[in-house]
Structure 1
């Protein structure tokens, strides 16, 4: 196959490298949540990294490329709003990563020379991208013959040849990847773990503590018996200010949602409609056409084995007579009717090979079919199927094996492919068109036998009627009219509508818990001010929504008032802790044993065995950092002072420590710690660069 066909087949890999930029692999998985005010930025700028602007056109182009890549990999022709949001977020991360790291590389003047580039492509230790592109699927090793073939074709190509441009772009990304590798090495090569750190880590994981404790739970004081003052809030806020830095603007809102989902009457109407269709289905002589005309979901009519049908059908169709119609029956929110078209005994599994010619590589489906027809004639004339598969198949993974797909059961392939191989005969050549292209299939073998049935299914989803939607919308519209002249909560109560909360929503959110596909609503929220009521009824799935903006948390350090509600539980526990510490201290004073402390506070003594510092969990209680830290810093047989924990106030006595065996391999321990530090450092490095880059996110204006 020609070099252009090869490169087209590999474009999925190239796109991943170009778009994903392999040079940023060390930050893969990092999620960037930087943000900015909705109203800043200009009409064409979707983000800023340091002084570099990212245009909305460039961002949209990358999103489109990544979306197409997702479609190719998943075999889907469209993407859901949730998947689109995922693609948009990943694209944003990629672009921010690229900008940040490229800037650092330029400042340090990190370069990759000509000889080094040559070595990365065809040397003894080639780039991972080269191995991925030209690797043998069976061995994972570089196929140098294939690489040299491409290099020869590229060198012979004239300037301006698209193939040459593709190759140059690919090499450019390999070079950038190497630069990034060098940059990371400058930082990580300075990491060092000394012997003391290794020894401390070993003891933290292996030294055991046995102790007994008494706890006064915060829950022992009712919340309504505690008064939280402004001073209490301020004390906690001042001690934990770093927790209240917003990396992007967040907004909260209250809303009422009128349910416009299908009613019982709507369900009954769909059932009646399906019952009428069932009678026509029985009389139909063209079941495939009947399904195409009447079913909302076009389920392929193919042979299926037991266990592959809906459970309701599985129990009846394998013993029914041809032409039997079952239903209507309810399944996954739809009324269905099913007709048994045929039943037979067929193979359980098939061994097959194929040659795939995609419409993309051939220049259209007709050309792909013509090429497959030519290959079929060559094989019928005596040419080797295996050799032609290696040369021409666009499925490189099977092509390397002479087109072999191995042995597979029913349902493993797409329906048209399945139908061809399971209903054909051993040794037969068949041509099938699927969403992947045109296939020339050779049936190698068929094994086993089992009864299979071909069932045609007509599907009618239960959907709200126009009357149901109109009634719900009118109710929401009435509420909107009333709330514009009154109090949101009071009017909701009057209309017997429940007020719900949407908390800390980001400007790019596609939905929130309970409201799917709510992008229009979120977009309005980020254009509005606190107290604003929506000027229209928003549709979110089956819900008709009226909303009011209740809070704006801007980017940066949040004021105390903005976080008061969220910190109330922990501040209230802090107030309880002061009371419980006083009570526990009174019990500890003069006590010679933990049992005496328990008796004074009306508690009980609980033992804790084999606790390690590295896993500060009290069995049956949970994580208690302060308590376990205090235990390992205490002397045995001595009643402790009260310790404020996460779930209560504690006093304890250490029974003793069990020291671990001496560290036998200090070098290995240091290596393990160094590896952990290396893994952490790469993410921490990028976080530091993000902070310094002062990333501004204006996506909420455009998405």
Structure 2
């Protein structure tokens, strides 16, 4: 296992794209520019930043590396959301690499050779060194392994060392840049006092309200002038940070029918009968199961919870199932059970057959070492002399580990032996001489032959659904999509404001191809394919395209209709309040048939009105009003209000101004970093063609 094993184990981290680790803190997922037209870009260009093209040949390995990390972190198969996250992560790193490198050069930020040496080997090493080379038992940097890695002359080691040093350098530059930004932020005493007051000053007031729902929608006739007025007053709200598209779709179910379920049940019962009498349990399970479970000793908690408890309560030789759980049938034969250590502490000497003339010679050497150790030989010294593994510098010590941490041959040897045993085992890494130092704990384990078969639709069911979808796709072209779907008795679903690299869409579990086609279509197009989801075929229709930038009134007209209607209603409700006079809230409430509502202890920073929800404009007006005076009508989010302020309770003076400023600086500093990176993007020429490729 040696240095090459170390590299294999660590490559998933060290190969992380150049400044990914350092840049992640800067990046805000929504702050990505999307360029058009993507279809006119070079076939191999994923995007460009200030004229620097990003080739798919360079970009894809970084996406793959991120996907591998997700696999290691979360296990199992990847889903579309993870893939989209991996693509975004790689893209963000590319943006950061170009934009921040230019900033470093402009500002003259560098990392000297002495600084780099100290970050790699000094008393306070880079966080990356701590992450990659920390001893899991002590948490301290394993300096022997680190130095072996840095000094190695093997080609792969040299390449990984260079990349690691570049990563450390980039993180140090990012830290310097971050400090420059943070140190440019200052909080004055006046600002600190305002913030403190906004969070601690209390207001007591009474209000009378007329809800927008009190005016029937049918009685409100909206004009172009109404839309224009609202749009002009709220234009800043309509800045679209990136292009998005919306589509309608219909689905044709491919969930299993009653006949399908009966057929699968009959099939699994036939498999169960054969399984009970099968002579080779593991082979039979491997051939018939759609989910592969290793034929080795497992601890409780590895299977579907509905099955796990039942199986682990059974003795060896028992048969369990078929049982339907989580949409699949399970069959389990308990081949053996035993009590086994929870974890093992072991040491080993790894012999590389290639270096001593073949496997036979490696086994002979291992047997000789085993005999020496059995006769009192020093295991640690022999490990230092003969082992090719990185653990040799610690006398071959591997620490304490649980099941699943080692290759099966190694694991079986240490968990099935006993403390003090010396064993010789062959694995993919070479020949091991293993010393079982200690076994810790004891719990039941079981060797299981496991079969799982999903409850899926038959080919006939799928063919019928596909035929219906195909017919709909052919017939709907040139027609009103929603009207034709309704005519066919189909429900139209909506996916609104879908970004080009988005890995999900409402109601769709595998939407990437559909989204790609949506970004290659024109508004109003029926998309060209029948899209396959887990349990349905989908036909989609592109309904809207919202480009990056300030949207026009025509582009937001449908979206703002409820707000425009409320704005028109507000004028009517304000007239009602004005006609009720200003003699006092009680008289106004009486004339309008409403009640006076008291509100206690409201703060400016949390404008929630009990029983109503958030009303920013109302609360803001309260804190700017005089005591006892009936206000002018205020149009809020839920209705129109008039109020009188009963009183304010001012907070005690700030006890610790320094602490108040410090807390604000922490939040302000983080926002400033995000704002700085956003500003770099806003001033850069960025083209994003990722939707062509993913």
TM-score (norm: length of structure 2): 0.87
Q: 1:207 to 1:398 in 2, by over 3 A?
A: farther
Deviates more, 1:5-14 or 1:607-616: 5-14
- From 577, 583, 602, give the equivalent of 1:591: 583
Provide the residue aligned with 1:580 in structure 2: 573
1:641 aligns with 2:632: yes
Provide the residue aligned with 1:186 in structure 2: 180
The correspondence of residues 148-159 of structure 1 with structure 2, limited to 5 A, is 153=151
* In 1, Cα distance between equivalents of 2:301 and 2:692: 49
Contact 1:389–1:402 (8 Å) recurs in 2: no
* In 1, Cα distance between equivalents of 2:335 and 2:270: 19
Deviations 1:522-553 (A, max 9, x none): 22222222232234433233322222222222
* In 2, Cα distance between equivalents of 1:45 and 1:530: 25
* In 2, Cα distance between equivalents of 1:437 and 1:84: 35
* In 2, Cα distance between equivalents of 1:175 and 1:26: 16
Contact 1:356–1:437 (8 Å) recurs in 2: no
* In 2, Cα distance between equivalents of 1:581 and 1:340: 76
Count of paired positions: 688
Provide the residue aligned with 1:207 in structure 2: 201
1:622 aligns with 2:616: no
Q: 1:415 to 1:199 in 2, by over 3 A?
A: farther
Q: 1:35 to 1:53 in 2, by over 3 A?
A: same
Provide the residue aligned with 1:253 in structure 2: 247
* In 2, Cα distance between equivalents of 1:399 and 1:467: 63
Contact 2:18–2:166 (8 Å) recurs in 1: no
* In 2, Cα distance between equivalents of 1:31 and 1:86: 12
1:296 aligns with 2:287: no
The correspondence of residues 348-427 of structure 1 with structure 2, limited to 5 A, is 349-353=342-346, 378=369, 381-382=372-373, 402-405=397-400, 423-427=416-420
Provide the residue aligned with 2:111 in structure 1: 112
Provide the residue aligned with 1:127 in structure 2: 126
**Alignment partner of 1:578: what SS?**
helix
1:570 positional shift: 1.9
1:269 aligns with 2:263: yes
Provide the residue aligned with 2:55 in structure 1: 55
1:92 positional shift: 0.7
- From 527, 544, 547, give the equivalent of 2:537: 544
1:468 positional shift: 0.6
Contact 2:181–2:669 (8 Å) recurs in 1: no
Q: 1:174 to 1:295 in 2, by over 3 A?
A: closer
* In 2, Cα distance between equivalents of 1:602 and 1:313: 63
**Alignment partner of 1:641: what SS?**
coil
- Structure 1, unmatched stretches of 5+, are none
Q: 1:375 to 1:322 in 2, by over 3 A?
A: closer
1:472 aligns with 2:450: no
* In 1, Cα distance between equivalents of 2:361 and 2:571: 84
- Structure 2, unmatched stretches of 5+, are none
* In 1, Cα distance between equivalents of 2:689 and 2:333: 54
* In 1, Cα distance between equivalents of 2:410 and 2:579: 80
1:687 positional shift: 0.8
**Alignment partner of 1:570: what SS?**
helix
Provide the residue aligned with 2:80 in structure 1: 81
Provide the residue aligned with 1:198 in structure 2: 192
The correspondence of residues 391-540 of structure 1 with structure 2, limited to 5 A, is 402-405=397-400, 423-429=416-422, 443-445=436-438, 454-484=447-477, 486-540=479-533
- From 276, 280, 286, give the equivalent of 2:274: 280
Q: 1:148 to 1:412 in 2, by over 3 A?
A: closer
* In 1, Cα distance between equivalents of 2:167 and 2:526: 50
* In 2, Cα distance between equivalents of 1:567 and 1:173: 47
Provide the residue aligned with 2:94 in structure 1: 95
1:583 positional shift: 2.1
Contact 2:334–2:447 (8 Å) recurs in 1: yes
Contact 2:192–2:660 (8 Å) recurs in 1: yes
1:386 positional shift: 6.6
1:515 positional shift: 2.0
Contact 2:343–2:441 (8 Å) recurs in 1: no
Provide the residue aligned with 1:243 in structure 2: 237
Q: 1:430 to 1:335 in 2, by over 3 A?
A: farther
1:470 positional shift: 0.8
* In 1, Cα distance between equivalents of 2:567 and 2:279: 77
Contact 1:291–1:458 (8 Å) recurs in 2: yes
Deviates more, 1:484-493 or 1:613-622: 484-493
* In 1, Cα distance between equivalents of 2:631 and 2:349: 75
Deviations 1:608-636 (A, max 9, x none): 22222222222232222112212222222
1:141 positional shift: 4.7
* In 2, Cα distance between equivalents of 1:573 and 1:400: 77
* In 1, Cα distance between equivalents of 2:572 and 2:670: 44
Contact 1:208–1:659 (8 Å) recurs in 2: yes
- From 662, 669, 689, give the equivalent of 1:678: 669
**Alignment partner of 2:293: what SS?**
coil
1:319 positional shift: 6.5
Contact 1:393–1:399 (8 Å) recurs in 2: no
* In 2, Cα distance between equivalents of 1:527 and 1:355: 58
Deviations 1:623-678 (A, max 9, x none): 22112212222222333222222222222222222222211211221222222211
* In 2, Cα distance between equivalents of 1:584 and 1:242: 30
Provide the residue aligned with 2:66 in structure 1: 66
Provide the residue aligned with 2:563 in structure 1: 570
Deviations 1:352-374 (A, max 9, x none): 3365979xx9999x999997996
Contact 2:46–2:689 (8 Å) recurs in 1: yes
Provide the residue aligned with 1:334 in structure 2: 328
Contact 1:46–1:54 (8 Å) recurs in 2: yes
Contact 1:284–1:290 (8 Å) recurs in 2: yes
Q: 1:519 to 1:339 in 2, by over 3 A?
A: same
Contact 1:353–1:405 (8 Å) recurs in 2: yes
Q: 1:339 to 1:640 in 2, by over 3 A?
A: same
- From 164, 168, 171, give the equivalent of 1:170: 164
Deviates more, 1:111-120 or 1:674-683: 111-120
1:94 positional shift: 0.7
* In 2, Cα distance between equivalents of 1:562 and 1:182: 43
**Alignment partner of 1:661: what SS?**
coil
Deviates more, 1:634-643 or 1:23-32: 23-32
* In 2, Cα distance between equivalents of 1:418 and 1:161: 31
Q: 1:458 to 1:290 in 2, by over 3 A?
A: same
Q: 1:465 to 1:10 in 2, by over 3 A?
A: closer
1:204 positional shift: 1.5
